[in-house]
């Protein structure tokens, strides 16, 4: 029986019958059946608590300290940035709950059946980088944990740089952590994980939230709460505060979850109902990031105040064991005060939290994206393995070496790519299509989303993408010192575009795509939607 589209009473679209496996379809990329869409408000709250309670979230607000701001300003920017990125995230979550499709299928509507691979691969590579960073931190926590239990398990100091590996003990723990999570992701993916794994993950985030609150109270009583709130770092070469660094801090806070703002339909395809998934996500994301990052920056301030020998390394971002912007180093310092039992327990839950976040937030997206390249040959398992390999090749020990490399080389760099893709997706789905997709055609190689060319590419999406991406990308290459050298760059318009890379790329791609499709792409939209884009109905083929 030929596949057809069925719309349930509550507006969910699903396929009746299964399409033959093809270059655009396999069972992992197929729409989620309505009967399996059972995530409610609590599921999304728990998902975001699990995703946010990790080391990079803790360290995010600490970047504000490095930029010369006090804890209150740093925390405020974290909250503002996450509130901003929640808007595109919720807009892109709608399609998952309505149509049950993952991100690489959703993006076929705007980029074309094969052009979608451009957006999917860019998003996938960023997810691989995050997978590598979370894996490195999980392995590093294991390294510190074993070092507490067996003091001889320690590497000599090594200068970290591109193509320079850290010590053998750290690399062995990284490799072990990598293998464990790849096995878990393949054997029990997030949507059908075993009960034991789910219980383990459910406990990790609440414990770390409670432990964070305990450290805040402990250090506050030890050094004085007033010192924690008024703390400021004093590096040898001050970066200085001011609006420039405030804007950069805001940009990287938006960019932090700009990843999930694109592929959130990978998760909401399991949603029971639109309103509940939106409420759960908004509260879970903004609330958890505000609390955990806020506690993180205050605990760091208290830690540096309590252990004065760490002040210089933390302020100058030396990436040593005394650089407390990474809380794993702080946990090791607290071992002498709190005792090994408490610290070992905390590090165990850090490892579990890194596992849950990596599998929940950093495996689903790239595994789906890489499958989309060749669904006939690749499946979920291959997607996970490819993610792990690329994540390692991106050398996460360099990306997360200190706050500056984390902020400028990583967060600010990829924000310029993801913002543009998000702008195109939202303009396409909300303004041009008004939430109308043809579900069957998204899986047909010669269907309406091929944009009637042999490449299966929407040229106007590619043009809009380049308009959004190229200017901040050139600035980023100059900042990191790769291939481009621009005289008098600091303070130039290109410098400001790169500083606000996500805002520039999102806004310009959004506007340029809408204008290009309105002026030149109207015939594609009318064919795909089944009626004139002006809204006047006409006889047409059925659409989902």
pLDDT along the chain (544 residues), means of 10: 82 85 83 92 88 88 89 95 98 96 95 94 91 93 92 82 86 94 81 58 78 93 94 80 90 94 94 94 96 93 94 88 90 90 87 79 79 79 90 92 86 93 98 94 92 94 97 91 86 91 97 97 92 50 37
Instruction: State the CB neighbour count (10 A cutoff) for residue 321.
Output: 17
In a domain, residue 75? The reply is yes
Report yes or no on 436 lying in a domain.
Answer: no
Question: What's this model's pTM, rounded to 2 decimal places?
Answer: 0.89
> In the prediction, which pLDDT does 540 show?
40
28: tokens are 């992992």
Q: Give residue 538's pLDDT.
A: 43
Q: How far apart are the first and last CA of the chain?
A: 19
Contact by Cβ (8 Å): 212, 296: yes
Is there a domain that residue 485 lies in?
A: no
Instruction: Give residue 349's domain range.
Output: 38-406
* 118 part of a folded domain: yes
Supply the pLDDT for residue 539: 37
Neighbours of 274 (CB within 10 A): 18
Is residue 142 in some structural domain? yes
162 in a domain, yes or no?
yes
Indicate the number of domains in the chain.
1
Cα gap 448→273, rounded to integer Å? 29
E strand spans, 393-540: none
3-class DSSP assignment, residue 6:
strand
Half-sphere exposure of 415 (CA within 13 A, CB side): 31
> Closest by alpha carbon to 414, among 132, 136, 172?
132
pLDDT given at position 160: 78
Asked whether residue 508 is domain-assigned, the answer is no
The CATH number of the domain where 301 resides is what? 1.10.4160.10
Does 509 map to a domain?
Answer: no
Which DSSP state fits 428? Answer: I
In the beta sheet, which residues pair with residue 161?
Answer: 164
What does each C-alpha distance from 428 to 92, 118, 437, 505, 511 come to in angstroms? 11, 16, 11, 16, 11
The contacts of residue 329 (CB under 8 Å, 6+ apart) are: 144, 310, 321, 322, 323
Distance CA(204)–CA(53), nearest Å, equals 9
d(C-alpha 419, C-alpha 417), whole Å: 6
376 phi-psi bin (left φ>0, alpha ψ -120 to 50, beta other) = alpha
């Amino acid at each position: 029986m030929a596949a057809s589209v069925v719309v349930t009473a509550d507006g969910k679209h699903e396929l009746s019958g299964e399409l033959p496996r093809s270059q655009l379809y396999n069972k992992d990329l197929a729409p989620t059946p309505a009967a399996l869409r059972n995530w409610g408000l609590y599921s999304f709250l728990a998902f975001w608590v699990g995703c946010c309670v990790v080391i990079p979230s803790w360290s995010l607000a600490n970047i504000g300290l490095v930029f010369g701001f006090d804890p209150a300003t740093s925390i405020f920017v974290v909250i503002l940035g996450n509130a901003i990125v929640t808007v595109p995230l919720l807009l892109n979550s709608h399609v998952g709950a309505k149509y049950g499709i993952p991100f690489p299928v959703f993006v076929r509507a705007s980029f074309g059946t094969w052009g979608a691979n451009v957006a999917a691969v860019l998003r996938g590579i960023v997810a691989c980088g995050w997978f590598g960073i979370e894996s490195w931190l999980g392995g590093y926590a294991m390294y510190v944990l074993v070092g507490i239990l067996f003091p001889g398990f320690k590497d000599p100091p090594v200068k970290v740089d591109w193509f320079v590996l850290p010590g053998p003990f750290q690399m062995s723990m990284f490799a072990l952590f990598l293998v464990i999570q790849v096995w878990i992701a393949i054997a029990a993916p997030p949507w059908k994980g075993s009960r034991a794994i789910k219980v383990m993950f459910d406990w990790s985030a609440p414990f770390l939230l409670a432990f964070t609150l305990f450290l805040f109270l402990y250090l506050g009583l030890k050094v004085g709460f007033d010192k924690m709130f008024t703390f400021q770092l004093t590096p040898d070469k001050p970066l200085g505060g001011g609006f420039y660094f405030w804007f950069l801090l805001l940009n990287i806070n938006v960019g932090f979850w700009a990843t999930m703002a694109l592929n959130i339909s990978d998760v909401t395809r399991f949603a029971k109902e639109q309103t509940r998934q939106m409420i759960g996500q908004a509260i879970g994301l903004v609330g958890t990031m505000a609390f955990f990052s806020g506690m993180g920056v205050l605990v760091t301030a208290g830690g540096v105040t309590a252990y004065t020998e760490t002040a210089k390394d933390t302020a100058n971002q030396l990436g040593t064991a005394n650089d407390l912007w990474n809380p794993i180093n702080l946990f090791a310092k607290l071992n002498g005060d709190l005792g090994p039992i408490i610290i070992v327990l905390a590090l165990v839950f850090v490892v579990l939290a890194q596992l849950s976040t990596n599998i929940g937030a950093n495996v689903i997206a790239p595994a789906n994206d890489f499958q989309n390249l060749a669904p006939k040959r690749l499946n979920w398992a291959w997607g996970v393995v490819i993610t792990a390999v690329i994540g390692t090749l991106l050398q996460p020990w360099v990306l997360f070496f200190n706050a500056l490399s984390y902020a400028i080389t990583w967060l600010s760099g990829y924000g310029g790519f993801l913002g543009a893709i998000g702008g195109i997706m939202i303009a396409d789905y909300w303004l041009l299509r008004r939430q109308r997709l043809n579900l069957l055609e998204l899986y047909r190689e010669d269907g309406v989303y091929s944009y009637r060319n042999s490449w299966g590419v929407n040229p106007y999406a590619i043009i809009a993408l380049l308009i959004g991406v190229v200017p901040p990308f050139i600035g980023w290459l100059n900042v990191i010192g790769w291939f481009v050298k621009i005289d008098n760059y600091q303070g130039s318009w290109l410098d400001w575009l790169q500083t606000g890379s996500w805002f520039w790329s999102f806004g310009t791609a959004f506007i340029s795509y809408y204008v290009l499709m309105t002026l030149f792409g109207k015939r594609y939209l009318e064919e795909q939607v089944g009626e004139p884009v002006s809204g006047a109905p006409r006889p047409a083929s059925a659409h989902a």
